[in-house]
């Protein structure tokens, strides 16, 4: 195949140095107690909303959390079939 370009997959968040398992665990532990919005998590954990969103996207891609739309916004909660929290602690 001439003129074909190989495009590599983008690096996963977990492979990046900035991705910390303890932050992911803190997010999972928090939403295990009660569903939270991205803004709620930002305030509870003392992180920027953009940073929280990065973790949430990764956790959602790993099928560890789900999004539920409610009056106050999009809430993140653990998937019922997930035992995720115990794996991080």
CATH code for position 41: 1.10.10.10
Residue 1 lies in a domain: no
Q: How confident is the model at residue 80 (pLDDT cuts 50, 70, 90)?
A: confident
Sign of CA dihedral 79, 54, 89, 87: positive
Residue 89 lies in a domain: no
What's the distance, CA 10 to chain centroid? 17
Residue 55 lies in a domain: yes
Number of domains in the chain: 1
Residue 36 lies in a domain: yes
Give the tens place of pLDDT for each residue, 57-67: 999 999 999 99
Question: Which residues form the domain of 57?
Answer: 14-84
pTM (global) more than 0.85: no
Residue 34 lies in a domain: yes
Average pLDDT, the chain: 81
C-alpha angle 30-28-67 in degrees, rounded to nearest 5: 95
């Amino acid at each position: 195949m001439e003129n074909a370009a190989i495009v590599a997959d983008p690096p996963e968040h977990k492979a990046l140095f900035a991705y910390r398992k303890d932050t992911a665990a803190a997010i999972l532990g928090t939403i295990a107690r009660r569903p939270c919005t991205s803004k709620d998590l930002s305030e509870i954990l003392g992180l920027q909303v953009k940073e929280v969103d990065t973790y949430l996207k990764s956790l959602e891609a790993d099928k560890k959390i789900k999004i539920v739309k409610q009056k106050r916004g999009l809430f993140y909660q653990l998937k019922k079939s997930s035992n995720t929290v115990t794996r991080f602690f």
